Amino acid sequence: MCGKTPCEWLEFGVPVLAEVRKRWDCTTAATHGYVICNTSTRAEVKNNKIRFAFYRMFTYEKFGCLGANNRIKIPDCVEEKIKSQFPDPDGSYTNFAP
Mean pLDDT, 10 residues at a time, the chain of 98 residues: 80 94 94 93 94 93 88 90 93 81
The closest of 78, 67, 72 to 6, measured between CA atoms, is 78
Rg (CA), the chain: 14
Task: Specify the pLDDT at position 92.
Answer: 86
Return phi, psi of residue 45, to 5°: -125, 125
**For 74, phi and psi rounded to 5 degrees?**
-80, 160
Supply the pTM of this predicted model: 0.85
**How far is it, in rounded angstroms, from Cα 68 to Cα 77?**
25
Q: From CA 83, how far away is CA 55, in angstroms rounded?
A: 10
DSSP type of residue 39: S
Predicted confidence at residue 79, as pLDDT, reads 93
What pLDDT score was predicted for residue 24? 93
